[in-house]
């Protein structure tokens, strides 16, 4: 099963012209083939970020004749019947799997949406690039029949509680430093593939997707008085690698597979269109509680620097026991592939590094191996602008619109942060509540079992 899943990202040899643009963007040189000839993906190297899928512009031209019919191609990709052009680089979808389960009205389904989906989904319905639509997204999910519409952002807040405490613990009590974020599955897989000796540096925290999944099937199930076995847990993600993450054998803390299915932003749009829901006319509805309430810190996880900023907002207060002067830690925001920021907490100068684009992390990892690392905490996102630019996000017809889309999605993300009543993860009342009623304390016994994991070398 795991083997098959790794072949998530594929290149259609009949459509590929061998232009090589995918290998230019591939951060791990996983694209192989002769120049000008159809390319293929080396599954052992591929981290499934889907950047090749985003850049490929070789499509099924109506003026050419192919041996494979369009319907066969759709079938191979697990796509519903659509009229849009099909491109050479693609990912395997899970559309039919989810559609079938949703049709079963007895199903108790819980869905979570990653922060980056609410700033991009509307693009698939003709709205301006980067439109912010959390309310309409919730309304659409309810009409699709999900029993509980929860949110990954809640779990992002939970991640900060655990990861912030883990960082403070490693600094004060010892442990592998610098500590690396582990939210991005493509980054985690990259460390496992290429730098297994650095695995201990990864935070033991699961990603927000997986934390949400295990919360759904434990706490969430108990809130509704249903058995974990009956819960169908779905995640809507900007990311093609999240499908792989959800199927990792480690991800069964609830006793069942914590996330049963992952749909990309694009696949959610197909579901909405197929159900003939008029997305643009939907009212704004709210996420269900408790697992759907989030702070501004949870929502900025979607952009590069977001995890770091959210962590700083909480870690600063954990360390100093004083409120942070300015919640907008703008120094960690930005465009560059590597940003180094030192945070003065009085007691400690917290040195941080934010990396976007996997290629940019290699020199830093080399430095760490040579014992030359002089910082505490590093956030790494595989995709160029963070998850807002993920492989499962709406695909632009033209590359110039891609840049515009990233910019707009980013500013919508920060706008959404500013709109939240709570801006720090530890101030989210539902987070406080879940620790009181269920988890106990960060890094406690229960959190350890449900929210943390261990990564192992893959070769």
Residues that bind another protein (CB under 8 A): 17-21, 36, 57-63, 82-85, 87, 123-126, 129, 266, 269-270, 394-401, 405
- Check binding of 186 to ligand SF4 (CB under 6 A): yes
| Active-site hit among 387, 424, 425, 427 | 387
* Residue 250 falls in the annotated catalytic set: yes
Q: Which of 10, 16, 121, 261 binds ligand SF4 (CB under 6 A)?
A: 16
| Active-site hit among 123, 124, 162, 166 | 166
- Check binding of 268 to ligand SF4 (CB under 6 A): no
* CA–CA separation, 126 and 131 (whole Å): 10
Give the tokens for residue 456: 């192992």
Residue 77's closest CA among 88, 91, 61, 98?
91
Cα within 13 Å of Cα(50), Cβ side: 30
List the interface residues with ligand SF4, window 427-446 (CB under 6 A): none
Query: What angle in degrees, to the nearest 10, is found between the helix axes of 208-215 and 152-173?
Result: 110
Question: What are the two backbone dihedrals, phi and then psi, of residue 39, each rounded to the nearest 5 degrees?
Answer: -95, 165
* Residue 285 falls in the annotated catalytic set: no
* Residue 124 falls in the annotated catalytic set: no
- Check binding of 241 to ligand SF4 (CB under 6 A): yes
* CA–CA separation, 338 and 360 (whole Å): 7
* CA–CA separation, 246 and 207 (whole Å): 10
* CA–CA separation, 5 and 107 (whole Å): 25
Q: Which of 113, 234, 239, 378 binds ligand SF4 (CB under 6 A)?
A: 239
Q: Which of 93, 164, 220, 238 binds ligand SF4 (CB under 6 A)?
A: 238
Taking CB under 6 A as the binding criterion, the range among 236-244, 331-339, 397-405, 408-416 that sits at the site for ligand SF4 is: 236-244
SS3 268: helix
* CA–CA separation, 64 and 86 (whole Å): 13
- Sign, CA dihedral 294-309-195-389, equals positive
- Check binding of 202 to ligand SF4 (CB under 6 A): no
Nearer to ligand SF4 by C-beta: 139 or 405? Answer: 405
Q: Which of 184, 269, 297, 378 binds ligand SF4 (CB under 6 A)?
A: 184
Question: Which listed option, another protein, ligand SF4, none, makes contact with residue 26 (CB within 5 to 8 Å by class)?
Answer: ligand SF4
Helices (H), 216-305: 221-223, 241-246, 265-274, 296-299
Nearer to another protein by C-beta: 275 or 397? Answer: 397
Enumerate the active-site residues: 163, 166, 183, 203, 242, 245, 250, 387
Residue numbers at the binding site for ligand SF4 (CB under 6 A): 9, 11, 16-22, 25-26, 28, 30-31, 39, 41, 46-52, 55-56, 58, 88-89, 184-186, 238-239, 241, 381-383, 386-387, 390
């Amino acid at each position: 099963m795991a083997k098959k899943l790794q072949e998530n990202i594929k290149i259609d040899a009949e459509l590929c012209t061998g232009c090589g643009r995918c290998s230019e963007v591939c951060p791990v040189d996983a694209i192989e083939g002769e120049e000008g000839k159809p390319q293929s993906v080396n599954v052992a190297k591929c981290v499934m970020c889907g950047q090749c899928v985003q850049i490929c512009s070789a499509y099924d031209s109506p003026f050419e004749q192919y041996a494979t019919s369009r319907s066969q191609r759709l079938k191979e990709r697990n796509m519903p019947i659509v009229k849009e052009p099909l491109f050479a680089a693609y990912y395997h979808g899970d559309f039919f799997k989810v559609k079938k389960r949703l049709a079963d009205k007895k199903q108790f389904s819980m869905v979570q949406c990653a922060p980056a989906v609410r700033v991009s989904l509307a693009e698939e319905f003709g709205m301006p690039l980067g439109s912010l639509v959390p309310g309409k997204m919730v309304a659409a999910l309810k009409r699709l029949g999900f029993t509980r519409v929860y949110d990954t952002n809640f779990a992002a807040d939970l991640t900060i509680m655990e990861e912030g405490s883990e960082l403070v613990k490693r600094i004060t009590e010892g442990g592998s430093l610098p500590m690396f974020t582990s939210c991005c599955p493509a980054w985690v897989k990259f460390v496992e593939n290429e730098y297994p000796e650095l695995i201990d540096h990864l935070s033991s925290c699961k990603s927000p997707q997986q934390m949400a999944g295990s919360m759904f099937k434990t706490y969430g199930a108990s809130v509704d008085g249903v058995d974990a076995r009956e819960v169908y847990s779905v995640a809507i993600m900007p990311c093609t690698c999240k499908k792989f993450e959800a199927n990792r054998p480690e991800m069964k803390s609830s006793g069942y597979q914590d996330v049963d299915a992952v749909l990309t932003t694009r696949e959610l749009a197909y579901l909405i269109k197929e159900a003939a829901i008029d997305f643009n006319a939907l009212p704004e509805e709210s996420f269900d509680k408790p697992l759907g309430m989030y702070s501004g810190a949870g929502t900025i996880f979607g952009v590069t620097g977001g995890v770091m900023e959210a962590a700083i907002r909480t870690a600063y207060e954990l360390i100093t026991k004083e409120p942070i002067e300015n919640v907008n830690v703008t120094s960690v925001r930005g465009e560059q592939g590597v940003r180094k920021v030192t945070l003065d907490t009085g007691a400690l100068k917290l040195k941080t590094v934010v990396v976007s684009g996997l290629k940019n992390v290699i020199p830093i990892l080399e430095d760490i191996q040579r014992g030359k690392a002089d910082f505490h905490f590093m956030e790494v996102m595989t995709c160029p602008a963070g998850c807002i630019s993920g492989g499962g996000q709406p695909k632009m017809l033209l590359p110039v619109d891609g840049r515009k889309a990233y910019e707009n999605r980013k500013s919508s993300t920060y706008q959404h942060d500013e709109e939240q009543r709570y801006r720090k993860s530890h101030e989210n009342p539902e987070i406080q509540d879940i620790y009181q009623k269920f988890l106990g304390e960060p890094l406690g016994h229960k959190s350890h079992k449900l929210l943390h994991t261990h990564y192992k070398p893959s070769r």
